[in-house]
Amino acid sequence: MIGVALRNLRHRPGGFAATLLSSLLGAALLMAFGSLIDTAAASTDPAGADSLYTTAAVGGGWCLVIVAFAVTSTLTLSVRQRAGQITALRRLGATPRQVRRMVVGEAAAVAVLAAALAVPAGLLLGRLLLTLLQRTGQVAGSVGFSFGTAALAAGFGVTLVGSGLAGSAAARRGARGRGTHDRQWIRRAGGVVFLLAGTGCAVVTATVMDGRGIDAMQTAGQAGIWAALGLALFAPELLRLVTAVAAVVVGRLGAAGELAVIGVRQRTRQLAGTVMPVILFSGIATGTVYMQDIENTAAAGTAQPDYAQDVKTLNYVVVGMITVFVAVMLVNTLVAATTHRRREFAQQRLAGSTRGQLLAMVALEGLLATVTGVLAGTAAAMFTVLPFGSARAGRVWPDASPGPYAVVVALAVLLTGAALLGTARRTLRGPAVAAPA
């Protein structure tokens, strides 16, 4: 089955582009933060080394969680799109173990290639992180950049092991076929655990961390990220709920609206892969930006501890890198999912639907997914904003401008719309009868 896996990579390169890109970006981020450990180990500045270790531990830890989540989602989508191939292999006598070996072999090969390609990007991002820390005075300018064992272990080791585990889990679900529906409780249980973790961090922020100044950021930031991950795992249920509420309005928008509502109801699990990155993007970005805004207002004109600048820099760097990664993941997922619908679009055109109606249908599906993701992301951000506002500013609802939130929502809509409609236009080119059977 390993030979089959390698032939699949050679003959279906487009089908693995999404996994490759997710793994490449994830490996680059992990290498960048890992290089800070190499730099700290070679540094003779104790204070600077502490800042480097802290940035690597916090930023790298959260990047690891987000990257693992993203790679697992992408691999699951890839395996789900190959249900026909897996079914054919099973009918030819392949066992579930052989199918898992094939998928894990593909994931491992892609992970090694992605990690190798990520080395230059990891070097560049690592140097950028060190430069930011030096410009803010947290690390001495004389400290030289190092890229060694820790960076390579983070990039190659974590990416390879993570992709292997994610591929095994995705293949196990794919090989079981319909039995997958019986194991939805695992996903939901994971969502509950993450939400409980977020709730716990939020409660600690509002109570234990009340009056402790900037230290409250330690738990407030975690609360929003855990909550975003938890709500992302409930993406199918949230999408069904939003669709049910919006169906009355969307269904009145003609044939395209009716097709969109029907399509979302029939493809909820597939479209949930689109909702997940929107939740992560809007939740993490909104929560971190407003948390820092509250801190800036509360700290104005007051003496701050020496590490306050470390925290501020770390917040912006982490949210920036994670946001960019999740944004790319969003576009990546949308392109892969929409391209896979070529046959579906062709059948609808042969049944009488026009290109315009199908584009409108895709746009409305994307709108429902975006609204679901933004609403859930906003809810996740509240796990950070409300308790931190209470602990740091003495008020649950902070006096903050809606501008940053509007920018986050606009970016989510822009990324989703551009990726969906651009891919749909390319997929609809040519005669319907030329689509694959």
Tens place of pLDDT for every residue, the chain, 437 residues?
445 545 555 555 555 677 788 788 888 988 999 999 999 998 887 888 888 888 888 777 777 777 777 777 777 766 666 666 666 766 767 777 777 777 777 778 888 888 999 999 999 999 988 888 888 778 888 889 999 999 999 889 888 887 777 777 766 665 555 444 546 888 899 999 999 999 999 999 999 998 888 888 888 988 998 999 999 999 999 999 999 999 888 888 887 888 888 888 888 887 887 888 889 889 988 998 899 888 888 887 777 776 677 677 777 776 777 777 777 777 777 777 777 777 777 888 887 778 888 888 888 888 899 999 999 999 999 999 999 999 988 888 877 788 889 998 998 888 888 888 888 888 777 676 555 55
pTM over 0.75: yes
Q: What is the Cα–Cα distance from 198 to 73, expressed in whole angstroms?
A: 21
What does R_g of the chain's alpha carbons equal in angstroms? 23
Quickly tell me which residue has 């997940």 as its tokens.
Answer: 276
Quickly tell me which residue has 């948390």 as its tokens.
Answer: 291
pLDDT tens-digit readout, 251-295: 888 878 888 888 888 888 878 878 888 898 899 889 988 998 888
pLDDT tens-digit readout, 362-375: 888 888 999 999 99
C-alpha to C-alpha distances, 327 to 254, 281, 389, 415, nearest whole angstrom: 31, 7, 27, 7
The separation between CA 235 and the C-alpha centre of its own chain, rounded to angstroms, equals 13
pLDDT tens-digit readout, 148-176: 999 999 889 888 887 777 777 766 665 55
